[in-house]
Structures are given as structure tokens and as C-alpha cells.
Structure 1
């Protein structure tokens, strides 16, 4: 698989294994929003204070945070499927136990066990769904994003409906649905190979010695402090029933999902990762301050909470991308280290907010949450140069062998190269051959480039192909070209984000090396996949300073003019 082009397939024509994990993802993403509508009901029914009820978040998130440090070690020994199954089973057991509990302390304890299962699940779900997909990783990402959107949006709605019957309803609902997901996972998900090298349990802690990862992790800690302060305490000043709270947080969830999937990548492409995060954190600080100032006016709190969903969706996606860009360690290790810090922030916030609310008034925790959003801005700024350097390092790429001995006359020194982007699809060889002919006719060197992509969906990240597979995507073309007497070099670029991000990265690489032209093939991915996951070809054409050539087998390469781009939009290229 590659960030270039893949075999054509509908994203929804997937094996049963993918659907089983996607269903489990929906239920998992319901987890947080499902509880929000019943917080006031829990306080009333169990004669608990808001600060006591807030410990449902603290126990869940702190255990998740600590567990994130060892999930990589567990997964590397059990394998992805077994880790997934254990996580699902733990969630089923502790969600059911929470529903049977008769005290707030009991529920808090069982939520801690739920947090352990959650950590095991989220550490493997995206990787499993990508590995199991038959429609290319783009199709798998769409399914994961769909599951995310459904879970975030439907969770509060289901929680409100079940909570209107009894506060126990949401807990039993999760247990039943996760039990179904567990059965489907056992039945349909095949055993996946274990990593060649087991992960050390100390690896995530050691990874935090890297300044870039630590900086992004602290920023995420501050962000999650504000986020979970709002999530844990906003339901109280709204003064709504469980059903009404469910509707409010459903609106919030719809904005989280939409801005995470559709708007965050586009804003990043236009303005860059760091600038969007600066503006977004400031926006969250303002929204939180509005909640604090209007805490005695339910309508103000309701509107502000719903609006915050847009900022939260953007932040979740771009923060994860920033972490993956600056991290010098393997993706699973970086995810574990980052997850530890961000969940710690989310876990401590409700506890501290409860103590502040009890000692002062309900506005103070929200003002503190607003402050943490704003403080995250200078923290991010300290890592700005590291983030930009990481982006530049990805543009420089990795040279790929074999080093070829020129058979034909070498290109003149300083001659602008022709770049051809290759992926794992049946027409790749024809595209490379067409680019080689163009390079020969123009007396230009040929560079074969493959973009290795890390997919990011909200707060999850996964490599879409192993490093050795990415190298093979280039070397097989270099070896074939050598047999034809064509001299070429190879490069691997590393991209974090969607296909459009890969296109912009390729454009920056072409500008850096002074390319004469970049040749790409027509994408076999469908319109739905490209709308959701972006189009490499479109992003490249809009961002490149040099000529971009569209190669159709059997036809001469043609420049991507305005008319050609219009045609491509109509044919889902």
C-alpha cells in the first residue's frame, strides 16, 4: 500500500474481520459520551456530589494512561488479535459490573477496570482494521472514521435514552454491545503476525527523553485537562434531563467527528500544522471562558459546549499528526508515550475541578480549563522549530538502492530531474515507463518516489505499510529500469496524514530538488474514498511549482491544466 495509488475497491467491500472491528470501534467511541447524560442522575440517585461523580472520568483515564505504557509490550507478545480480544472482554466485564454497583465508589472502581480494557483496545484497533482490509488502507480509514463518527455522535444519544430509563442503562448497554463485538472479533478476525522484535515495557518512558515528543505530550496534557474539565462538569449547569443532555452532546459529537475527518486536514494543508493548532487552542480557551462567565445561564453553556466540538475535532487530529512527525521512535511506542501524558491530563482534571468547585464555585474549574488551553500555546511554540524540522526531514526522503551504473549517457550536471510517484497497483510499471521515456527525451535524470504514509484518525495513528514493503515498491522499478538500460534513483518520503498531505509533501520535495516535472497516474480510488481521505493528485497539482503530468497507459503524458483538473474531479481521479 502507498500514499500514491492503490487497487480499486469499494471501501465498504471488506472482509467480515474489518466489519467486526469497526463495530467494536463504534461501541468504544461511545464510551465517554455515553456517560455524560447520566452524570446529574448519578449524583441524585446515589446521593453523591459532582466532585465524587467526576471520579468516573479520573479513574477511567488515569488507568488508561498508565496502561498505555505497557500495551505495546503486551501486544508485541500476545499479538494484535489477542490483545484486542482481551481488551474487549475486560470492557464487557467491568461495564456490566458498573451497572450492578450500588455506590458511587463501586462505579468509580469498575470504571478503572474499564479503562484498562480501553487502553488495550485503542492500542490495536486501527492497526488491525488497516491490516485486515481488502480495499486498500484508504477504504479501511473510511470505515474507521465512520465508526468514530457514529460512536461519538450516537454515544450521547444512546446514553440519554437509556439513562432516561435508569442510570444503569448505559453501562449495561455497553456491556451487551461489546459482548456482541467480542463474539464477532473471535469469529471473524484472523490471527495476525506478531512483531519481529518484542517491544520493551520501558520504551515509552525512554521515548519521552526526546524533546519533541515530550513537548507535544505536555501540550496534549494541557489540552486534555481543559477538555475533560468541560466534559466532566458542563452537564451540571445545563440543568437538563438525561434525554436532553444526550441531544446536546450528540450535536457536540457530530461537530467533533466532522471537523476531525473533513476540516482538520484541509486547514492543515492551507495554513500548516502549528498555526492551526495555535488558533485552535486559543479558540478553545475563549469557548471555555464563555462557559465560565455564563455558568449560571444554561443556554450559554449549551451553545458553547456544542461549538467546542469543532475545535476539539481539529485539535485531536492535528495534535496526533504533530506527535507522529516529531517522534524519532516507532509509531506504537510514540503513541504509548503520548497517550500516557494526554490521558494523565484528562484523568487529573475532573478530580482537581471537583475540589475547586467544592471550595469556590462552579465557574473556577472552567476558568482553569480555559487557562490550560492558552498555556498550551507557548508550550507548543517551544517545539515549533522541531516540528518544522521534522516536516523538512520528511521532505528530504530516504535514498533507496540499488545504486545503478549508468548504461546510457549520464544527464548533464545540474539538469532538473523528472520525478515519478509510484504505488502498489497494477498500472505502476506503465506509469514509470512513461516517465522514463520523458526523462530520456529531455535528457533529465529520473527519480522514482514512493510516499510511505502514517494514517491518523482523530487520536489514533498507524503505519499503512512496513518499511521493507515501501522499499520494495521502489527497488522493483529500479531493477526493472536497469534491465532496460535506464538510470534512475529512488526515494522514500514519509508522510503523516491523508492522501492530500502526501500530495503536498511530494510537491515540496519536487520544489526542493528543482524537478522539471512530476508524473503521476490516474488514481483507481473512488470518489468517496478521495473525498474523505483526500486526493494526492489534486493536492500535488495545486501545490507544485513545476509541471505535473498525468500518465494514462497507452496515451502520451499530459499536463494537469485547469481543464484537466476539472475532468479529474468528475472522474474521481
Structure 2
């Protein structure tokens, strides 16, 4: 992701209709991540399930997403970006609809796995399509993608709360309807080929992970994502609020994610560098996770929202680091990185909720904080593999100085 989005701000709104269609679908795709948050307690009650059983909605979704990252480049480089997007959207429409018809947790977990497959195929291709079709250069396109991500993550809990207040099934049907609209828009408005047709092999993302810098970033991201999805998947049960209350808390969290990813992360990168920014954001997560675990209700709300700032910064900096640190093509590096990092997202929900059920609700947050410390240690011990990021930061500073002088 771009560390200088303000340079492209002048052209972000002047985009072809195809870009807006893809961006709209991306917003809905990212909504799917936080959509179920406000309705997790309702799902548990409606299907007579425990928090750990319901947490498998996240586990199945992200486990399939991780594996799917290995095949998206292989597929899109052979059939093109538009067809890949439509396949992904079509799969989401089918499985989001089926999720709303579930009569058991097992069915819902299975349908969420199919949803994760479709979402991975779409999201992994959407950025490349937006960059290829956008006017105003790559930075404007990337900023638009980041804005879609932030808007989707922040709106997901609100939509989940509003529709889930009627019935826990309605958010799934609502997402399917919105994705169907996105399918129609992309089918009619996206013309021509906007992605590279250089064929990639299925093994290329795994081969890319042999690079020390990319593997370091990915391993640290596993720990960070474990903490991230501990907050996202387990906190709704700790809050003990209605769907509206949980939706409001995570809307504030999502706004923090959006603001920090687009505005705060680039500022920190310019001032202290990418790796130091990772240290700061992970350190803030340690404080917030500990605060959630040891606080009363008001403290849980406050620290949950504050984690959004750390998560937004890490989302941007870790993703950009994965793109910049490796000598592999960006789509290949991204696929390898996402394959590893989504493992943390798949593991956290079940482990966190199980620890909370069997031991104490404080334990998942202390484990999440320990994971952030482990991420800092990985970055520090393998710091030499990230020297490329220092060179990128220096290059960005040089170009910024040139811009100011001009």
C-alpha cells in the first residue's frame, strides 16, 4: 500500500465507472469480515451453541481464505481479472445466501468456509484490477482501495447490528444482495483486461517465502493477526451488549482502523520508518489488549476502540512491507504473505474463545498481548532481513523533499 496517499488525493474521485464498481464490491467484501460481530451472541443463542463453536465462523472463513490465496494468482493470470472477480463474487452470493438458511452451527461454519473462498478470490484480485483501471496513477488507486477497506470494515458491524436486530439471518441475506449488485455492476461496467496475464505457477507464492524479508514480515504478521482477531471474534461475548451496542463499539473500532490506515500510518512511516512504526503499533496493541483483559465494561469499550488505531497502522505498514521487501512480483509476494498471515486469523477465534470458556475471560487478551510481544521479537531478531524497507523509506523521504522544493 502506498505510504504517500496525499500525493494522489487530487485524482481519487475522478475514476472510471469500472473502478467505482470494483470499489463498491470491495466495500461489501470487507464488510463481511466484521458483519457477524454484533450477531455472534444472537447466533449462539439461536443455534444453541457455545462461543467457541460460533467462533468457528471465523476459523473456517480465514482457513479457506489462507489456502485460496495460493491459487488466486494462478487463476487470474490465466482467465483475467474480470472473470476472476465475477467468480469470486458469485461464490460469495451463493454461500452468503446459504449461511442465512443454516439450521445448525456446523452448516453455518461450512457455508462461511465457502464464503471465505469467494471473498479471497475477489479481494486478492480487486486491488490489481483497480490499479489497472484507475486514472491518476497507482497511488490514487491504492488510496481508493484503502478507503474501501476502511469503509467496509467500519460499516460491517453497523449493517450487522441493524439487520441482525430483526433476525440473525438477515445480515447474511443482505450481504448476498449487495454482492449481487456488485456482480452486475462489474459485469456491465468493467471492460477490457486490467490485470497482467503473465502466468504464475501454483508454487510461486510458497517459493517467494524463501526470501528472508518476506518470511520475517509474514511470521510477525501471524502473531499480530492472532491478536487482531482475538479482539474481533471474542470481544462481542465479553461486552455483554445488545446487537446495537456491539455494532456501535465496533463501528468506532472500524472508523479508527480506517483513519489510522489511510492517514496515521503514512505519517509515522515518514517520521520514524516502517519497522519502527511496526514496533510502535504492536506496542500499542500490547497495552490495549492488556487493558481489555483487566478492565471493566467502560475500559473494555475504550481499549477495544483504541486497538483499531494500532490495527489500522499495522494493516497498512505490514502489507506495504510485504510488497516492498521481496524481489518477487507484487501479486506473488502478496499471495505468499497472506497465506501465512491469515493462519493467525484462523487460529485466534477458536483458541481465544476456548480459553475464555475453560479458564478465564482475561486469558485470551493476555495471550494476544504476548503474541504482539512475540511479533516485536521476530522483527528485532531478524531486523537485518528488513534492510530493504529502510532503503524504501529513504527513497520516499527524498521524493517528498523534491516535491516540497518544487
Same structural fold, with TM-score higher than 0.5 when normalized by the shorter chain: yes
Q: Secondary structure of 1:32's partner?
A: helix
CA contact (8 A) 1:91 1:117 kept: yes
Report the counterpart of residue 324 of structure 1 in structure 2. Answer: 323
CA contact (8 A) 1:503 1:540 kept: no
Structure 1 segment 217-236 matched on structure 2, within 5 A: 217-236=218-237
Query: Matched residues in 2 for 1:290 and 1:232: separation?
Result: 17
Q: Secondary structure of 2:378's partner?
A: helix
Structure 1 residues 373 and 5: CA distance shift in structure 2, 3 A: closer
Structure 1 residues 145 and 389: CA distance shift in structure 2, 3 A: closer
Q: Secondary structure of 2:263's partner?
A: helix
Q: CA deviation at 1:270?
A: 0.4
CA contact (8 A) 2:229 2:345 kept: yes
**Range with bigger deviation, 162-171 or 361-370:** 361-370
Query: Matched residues in 1 for 2:262 and 2:65: separation?
Result: 24
Report the counterpart of residue 298 of structure 2 in structure 1. Answer: 299
Report the counterpart of residue 402 of structure 2 in structure 1. Answer: 540
Q: Which runs of 5+ in 1 are unaligned?
A: 395-494, 496-500, 507-535, 543-547, 551-573
Q: Which whole-Å deviations, capped at 9, do the CAs of 1:343-395 have from their partners, x for residues lacking one?
A: 01110111222332232122111111111011100101123222224533x5x
Query: Matched residues in 2 for 1:382 and 1:79: separation?
Result: 40
Query: Matched residues in 2 for 1:218 and 1:194: separation?
Result: 29
Query: Matched residues in 1 for 2:97 and 2:140: separation?
Result: 33
Q: Secondary structure of 1:328's partner?
A: coil
Q: CA deviation at 1:145?
A: 3.0
Structure 1 segment 202-241 matched on structure 2, within 5 A: 202-241=203-242
Q: Secondary structure of 1:200's partner?
A: coil
Q: Secondary structure of 2:36's partner?
A: helix
Structure 1 residues 246 and 193: CA distance shift in structure 2, 3 A: closer
CA contact (8 A) 2:274 2:390 kept: no
Q: CA deviation at 1:146?
A: 2.9
Report the counterpart of residue 350 of structure 1 in structure 2. Answer: 349
Q: Which whole-Å deviations, capped at 9, do the CAs of 1:249-286 have from their partners, x for residues lacking one?
A: 10000010000000100111001111111121111011
Report the counterpart of residue 362 of structure 2 in structure 1. Answer: 363
Paired residues, number: 404
Q: Which whole-Å deviations, capped at 9, do the CAs of 1:442-474 have from their partners, x for residues lacking one?
A: xxxxxxxxxxxxxxxxxxxxxxxxxxxxxxxxx
Larger strand proportion, structure 1 or 2?
Answer: 1
Moved runs in structure 1, 4+ residues, more than 6 A?
2-9
Q: CA deviation at 1:45?
A: 1.0
Q: Secondary structure of 1:209's partner?
A: coil
TM-score by length of 1: 0.67
Q: CA deviation at 1:293?
A: 1.6
Larger helix proportion, structure 1 or 2?
Answer: 2
Structure 1 residues 75 and 362: CA distance shift in structure 2, 3 A: same
Report the counterpart of residue 391 of structure 1 in structure 2. Answer: 390
CA contact (8 A) 1:238 1:299 kept: no
TM-score by length of 2: 0.94
- CA RMSD across the alignment: 2.2
CA contact (8 A) 1:77 1:194 kept: no
CA contact (8 A) 1:216 1:383 kept: no
Structure 1 residues 290 and 194: CA distance shift in structure 2, 3 A: closer
Q: CA deviation at 1:302?
A: 1.1
Query: Matched residues in 1 for 2:7 and 2:317: separation?
Result: 25
Query: Matched residues in 2 for 1:52 and 1:301: separation?
Result: 23
Q: Which whole-Å deviations, capped at 9, do the CAs of 1:510-560 have from their partners, x for residues lacking one?
A: xxxxxxxxxxxxxxxxxxxxxxxxxx4xx4366xxxxx4x3xxxxxxxxxx
CA contact (8 A) 2:133 2:194 kept: no
